[in-house]
Each structure stands twice: as structure tokens, then as C-alpha cells.
Structure 1
Amino acid sequence: MMKTIFDPATREELIARINTLNEQSTAQWGKMNIYEMLKHCITYEQMMLGKLRYKRAFIGLLFGKMALKDFVGDDRAIKRNVPTLPQLKVKGANGNVAAETSKWIALLEEYAADDDRKIVHAFFGPLTWEQAGQLVYKHTDHHLRQFNS
């Protein structure tokens, strides 16, 4: 069975991993520093939770559904250096890592409310509840692996 953010044990495992991050955490790949990654993940969760809405990327309209199968079709981890949507890029930022870690965790804890909200990804488009849960897990895991956590 594929992991999902909606599973309490999986969510707690991710939160425990997030709690290992600190100011000295460095990326194993990619260009983001720890603070930029945290801001990126917070923005991603805000999109997935419907707190921020972005216009669908044109290329996503063309290829989003097909690409989604690569992301949620099995339990493989997201590959390194997958392109980031422009709306979710954070560059040249530094700040309070502990504060941003707390914000990210609070957003992940919102997935405990199984409210079956409508989730629209800026690239993939409308997602089923199951697809959203798997995608949030994989995205979180991807960035935690990026920072060796």
C-alpha cells in the first residue's frame, strides 16, 4: 500500500523527520538552502490545502494528467532535480528555520481532518483525495531526503 499523508502514523513519521532539520541542514542536491526549502514546502501545502490558488500551468494542461501517473502510480520516490513550478520557487531567502519548521508541521497536521476537500494542483490539476494524500507524502519525503532527514 502506498504511503499517504492521511495516515496518522505516516504523518507522524514525516513530522519526526522534519523535527531533525536545523540551521546546519544542507541539501544533498538542488539549489535551495534549508530556509528556502521550508518556505517552498509551506507554499506547496498552502496550495494543496486550498489556502493559495494558482492558475494552471499551460504545460500542465497538456501533460499534467499523464505526468501525475509517474508521481502517484507506485511507491517510488520523486526523482532528484524535478523542475519546480515557478509559483513555488523561493530564491535568496534566509530566516528563522525553527519558525518555518513549526509552520510546515502545523500545515501537515491539517491533513488529519478528513474533510475530502477539492484539491487542485497548479500542474497536475484536480486531484482525488487519494492522489493528493500520496502526492503530499511523496513531496514531503522528497525534500526531507534532499536535506538528509
Structure 2
Amino acid sequence: MRQTVLDKTEITKLIRRVNSLSPDKRPFWGKMNATEMLHHCNLANQRILSWNKPVNPGTFKQKFMKFLVLHVLPGFPRNVKTAAPFETRGKINTQAFENEKELFKTGLLEFAKPGKIFSAPHPYFGPLNTRDWGRVVWMHVDHHLRQFGL
């Protein structure tokens, strides 16, 4: 079975990994520091958790990208440029690390609450259903934890 944040056991594993992250931990790739990475994930997760607008149908390119990432590639590629609303480099003070870390953990726990439905569009994959979001969020968080060797 593929990992998903809809599974509380998987969230527990992700939280265990992030608990060993420190503000001075250097990434193996990319330009974000640990605080910026957590803030980036928090912005993305909050958008998914709070979405309440209509969603346009996906384009062929978005559908292709979704299929490729969810069913072919082993994970997100390194150094892919993020969508502008989630760009955090230089936009948050490293002193916010502990607060961002706590927001990260509590946000993840929201995904596994029974009855939650997620319908936000992904900036590159277009509309996703709840099952797809569970997988995409897990892949995104795993990608960034691996970025910091976790």
C-alpha cells in the first residue's frame, strides 16, 4: 500500500521524523532552510485543509503530470520550482522554527480526521480527490524531510 496522510500511522511516522529536525540542519539540496521548509509545507497544507471554492477541470497537461507523479515516479524530483504562493525563501525568520514545527505537526493530524474531504486544486496537477491529496501530501512532506536527511 502506498503511504498517505489519511492514515494516522503514517502521520505518526512523519511526525517522528520531523521531531529530529533542528533549525540549523542544512538541506542536501535546494535553497530553503529548515524554518522556510516547514513554513512552505504549512502554507501548502493549510490551503488544502481550508479550500472552499469551486474547482475548474484539469487540463490535459495537469492530468498527465498527476498520473506521472502519482503512478510512475518514485517521488517528487529534487529542485523543482514551487508555485509562487508557496515560495518562502527569505520570508520567515528562523526564530519562528518551533512555532512552524508545531503547526506542521498539528496540520498533518488534520488530514486523518474521519470524514474529511479535500477538493483543492493542485497548482501543477489540477483537481485532486481526497485519496489523491492524501498521497500527494505524504509525498510532498516526505520529499522535504528527505531534503533534510530525515
Q: What TM-score, normalized to structure 1? A: 0.87
Partner of 2:122: 121
Does structure 2 conserve the Cα–Cα contact (< 8 Å) formed by 1:45 and 1:107?
yes
Partner SS state of residue 20, structure 2: coil
Does structure 1 conserve the Cα–Cα contact (< 8 Å) formed by 2:36 and 2:88?
yes
Partner of 1:44: 44
Listed as ranges, the matches of 1:30-109 within 5 Å are 30-51=30-51, 61=59, 63-74=61-72, 76-92=74-90, 93-95=92-94, 96-109=96-109
Q: In structure 1, give the amino acid aligned to 2:80.
A: V
Does structure 2 conserve the Cα–Cα contact (< 8 Å) formed by 1:37 and 1:143?
yes
Q: In structure 2, give the amino acid aligned to 1:94.
A: N
Does structure 1 conserve the Cα–Cα contact (< 8 Å) formed by 2:30 and 2:79?
yes
Q: In structure 1, give the amino acid aligned to 2:9.
A: A
- Tell me the alpha carbon deviations over residues 40-76 of structure 1, each in whole angstroms, 9 at most, x when there is no partner: 00001012213597x98xxx84521111112211571
User: How many residue pairs are counted as aligned between the two chains?
Assistant: 145
Q: Give the root-mean-square deviation of aligned CA atoms.
A: 2.1
Q: Call closer, same or farther: CA 1:108–1:75 in 2, change over 3 Å.
A: farther
Partner SS state of residue 49, structure 1: helix
Distance in structure 2 (CA, Å) of the matches to 1:78 and 1:15: 19
Does structure 1 conserve the Cα–Cα contact (< 8 Å) formed by 2:122 and 2:128?
yes
Aligned-pair CA distance for 1:130: 1.3
Q: Call closer, same or farther: CA 1:51–1:121 in 2, change over 3 Å.
A: same
Q: What TM-score, normalized to structure 2? A: 0.87
Distance in structure 2 (CA, Å) of the matches to 1:145 and 1:122: 22
Share of identical aligned residues, percent? 32
Partner of 2:14: 14
Distance in structure 2 (CA, Å) of the matches to 1:50 and 1:120: 12
Distance in structure 1 (CA, Å) of the matches to 2:85 and 2:52: 10
Does structure 2 conserve the Cα–Cα contact (< 8 Å) formed by 1:47 and 1:121?
no
Aligned-pair CA distance for 1:94: 2.2
Does structure 2 conserve the Cα–Cα contact (< 8 Å) formed by 1:50 and 1:120?
no
Does structure 2 conserve the Cα–Cα contact (< 8 Å) formed by 1:2 and 1:74?
no
